[in-house]
Amino acid sequence: MADQGTYVEQGKAFDRDMNYVPDRITRDARRPEHGPVEGELWPVEPGRYRLVAAKACPWANRSIIVRSLLGLEDVISLGLPGPTHDARSWTFDLDPGGRDPVLGIERLQEAYLKRFPDYPRGITVPAVVEESTGLLVTNDFPWITHDLFHEWREFHRADAPDLWPVDLREEMEDVMKRVFTEVNNGVYRCGFAGSQEAYDAAYERLFTALDWLEERLGTRRYLMGAAITEADVRLFTTLARFDPVYHGHFKCNRQKLTEMPNLWGYARDLFQTPGFGDTIDFEQIKQHYYVVHRDINPSGIVPAGPDPAVWLEPHGRG
């Protein structure tokens, strides 16, 4: 998803385009019980697909975390675009020769256009690409992680967490909806507000939600209780970027994450859990936002701080 085509529209509130390629990867290409089925169905098959997900992007970051938590590293390969992109596409400038070593492409756009020659929208991550053909399969980010859990279960590691517990699923859907609309997307609503009125409304919504989360996390270790779920993955990627980027760059500056005790302890707890902190690259995160968003940061100067060492301090939530 990320910020391909994201910019400030003067006088307008930020409105994210949520139209994605609705294809799904399911067991035996069957019709799934939940979610969109307007697109094509592809079969679960180890070694067939490549997840292209930039570490800089919060939406892509969640797919990297879920892939790691479930132990799918040897089942679905991972391509990592660099942190910056131009108006056309994410690029593989971190790889030798500037090409993805499996797909052989310089730009993710190539996989999109190979499947849809007249693709009309931004080139977003995460994206799943079929390795043998180089065709884009899907970029529908909420369903990519949903299906990594539900459809690839046969290939999960034995001790993989239950990211979608049946008894909590209804409440979890409500929590994730609020986290997405008010926090994940809320910081963007602040950062890309095109008027003072739009910004003020977005700021109020964001911190109302963060106050709700601060209170909720005062009575439980994770969002849904004693165990990590997909809801935690979805919130974590925004929290990890809050002080380095959203507090200043997106003007979400009532408080820093480090000044919200429960959220800060919770974020450090997750960061220090295998599969979370080891997917975070603060330098790539800062380069992406401060270099790409020239309408917000015309100089392109990337700030030096904050010190990432604070993420390794004891969290006290065990």
**Given 57, 190, 252, 290, which residue is catalytic?**
57
- Convert 118-146 to b/e letters by CB count within 10 Å (16 or more is b): ebeebbbbbbbbbeeebebbbbbbbbbbb
Query: In the annotation, is 57 catalytic?
Result: yes
Residues 6+ positions from 24 with CB-CB distance below 8 Å: 32, 35, 36, 37, 39, 41, 42, 138, 140, 143, 147, 151
Q: Which two tokens stand for residue 185?
A: 């997307």
CA distance 209 to 174: 13
Find out whether 234 and 186 touch, Cβ atoms under 8 Å: no
**Mode of pairing for the β-strands spanning 127-130 and 136-138:** antiparallel
With CA atoms as reference, report the closest residue to 70 among 164, 184, 168. 164
**Given 20, 49, 112, 188, which residue is catalytic?**
188
- The HSE-up count of residue 137 (CA atoms within 13 Å, CB side) is 24
Q: Which residues pair with 127 in a beta bridge?
A: 52
Query: In the annotation, is 188 catalytic?
Result: yes
CA distance 112 to 110: 5
DSSP 255: -
Residues designated as active site = 57, 188
